[in-house]
């Protein structure tokens, strides 16, 4: 039975006749509810602001549309882009962006720790960091538009991962050098599985600092970057 203790996957869970046991059925429903909530809930924007993030949003109006229209979750209105251009630091070495993606709890639980070590780490190394942005209803490709408009060298997008049945709090960091809408998806390097049961947010932060340094030196990212 103990083989089940080495993975959160649903193996070796027993059965009652042809069915799963009540305990496992309830556990499944609970985990499924956690996953649903992760998608449909909202990030506590007050806390994000306290960390120093500027909050913006994509063309999406609500969660329902966010799920239905991935294309709109990647783009911004003219006004928003104008606002970003006018109020944010231009041409930073590093632009940090957080987005709710498909899991708001991922941002709620992980952002503080990873952002702390990232900011201190870049400051210590003399690497300039732009105005941190939080995107409501944001998908990965938003980083391309922001990078282009602000002229960032390395863009780091911290985004809530699509939740599974093991955790609803997993976050990924997508990173790209001169992130651009003209480039294919392969421009991005990813550090994934960031949560307290996977790669700890602080350790992920340390690794992102390390990869950023290499990107700034090599001036490339994604599949082009051989580390």
Partner 1 sequence: MDKIYTLGMDIGTTTTQLIISEIEVENLTANYLSVEPKILSRKMIYQSPIVITPMYDSYHLNETELIKMFFEFINASGVDIKKIKTGAVIITGESSLKENASALIHSIADSTGEFIVAAAGADLEAILAGCGSGAKDVSYRQNEVLTNIDIGGGTTNIVKFDRGEVSDTFTLHIGGRLLKIDNDFKVTYLSPVLQKILALEGVKVKEGSSIAYREMRKAAELMAGYIAKALTGELESKYDMLYVSGQKALAEATGYFVSGGVGEYVYDEFEESSIMKACLKYQDLGPLLGTMVRKVFKKRGFNLSKPKHRMRATVCGSGSYSMQLSGNTIYVDENILPLKNLPLIRMTYENNTEECVKAARKLIGYHRTQTAIYITYKGNNSYEDIIMLAKGIIQITEELLSNIIIILDKNVGKALGQTVKRYLKETKPIICIDHIQNTHGNYIDLGKMVGGSLPIVIKSLIF
Return residues touching partner 1 (CB under 8 A). 2-3, 112-114, 116-117, 120-121, 124, 189-193, 196, 198-203, 205-207, 209-211, 226-227
Q: How far is the CB of 189 from partner 1 (least distance, A)?
A: 7
- How far is residue 116's CA from residue 154's CA, in Å, rounded to a whole number? 18
Q: How far is the CB of 207 from partner 1 (least distance, A)?
A: 5
SS3 124: helix
Q: How far is the CB of 200 from partner 1 (least distance, A)?
A: 5
**Residue 30 region by backbone torsions, left for phi larger than 0, else alpha for psi between -120 and 50, else beta:** alpha
Q: How far is the CB of 40 from partner 1 (least distance, A)?
A: 27
Q: Contact at 8 Å (CB) between 211 and 176?
A: no
Q: Of the two residues 9 and 26, which places its CB atom closer to partner 1 in the complex? A: 9
- How far is residue 17's CA from residue 14's CA, in Å, rounded to a whole number? 10
Q: Of the two residues 141 and 211, which places its CB atom closer to partner 1 in the complex? A: 211
Q: Of the two residues 94 and 114, which places its CB atom closer to partner 1 in the complex? A: 114
Q: Of the two residues 38 and 175, which places its CB atom closer to partner 1 in the complex? A: 175
| CA 145 distance to own-chain centroid | 16
N residues, the chain: 227
Token pair of 35 as six digits: 């996953």
């Amino acid at each position: 039975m103990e083989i089940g203790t080495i993975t959160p996957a649903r193996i070796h869970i027993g059965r009652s006749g042809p069915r799963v046991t009540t305990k496992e059925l309830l556990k499944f429903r609970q985990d499924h509810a956690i996953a649903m909530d992760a998608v449909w809930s909202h990030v506590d924007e007050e806390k994000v602001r306290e960390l120093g993030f500027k909050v913006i949003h994509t063309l999406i109006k609500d969660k329902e549309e966010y799920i239905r229209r991935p294309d709109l979750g990647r783009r911004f209105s003219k006004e928003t882009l104008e606002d970003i251009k006018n109020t944010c630091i231009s041409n930073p070495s590093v632009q940090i962006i957080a987005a709710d993606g498909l899991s708001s709890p991922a941002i709620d639980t992980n952002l503080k720790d990873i952002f702390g070590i990232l900011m201190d780490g870049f400051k210590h190394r003399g690497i300039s960091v732009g105005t941190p942005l939080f995107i409501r209803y944001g998908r990965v490709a938003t980083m391309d538009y922001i990078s282009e408009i602000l002229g960032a060298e390395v863009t780091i997008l911290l985004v809530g991962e699509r939740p599974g049945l093991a955790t609803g709090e997993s976050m990924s960091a997508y990173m790209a050098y001169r992130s651009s809408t003209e480039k294919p998806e392969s421009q991005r390097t990813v550090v994934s599985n960031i949560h307290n049961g996977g790669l700890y947010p602080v350790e992920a932060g340390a690794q992102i600092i390390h990869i950023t340094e290499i990107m700034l030196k090599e001036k490339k990212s994604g599949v082009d970057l051989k580390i």
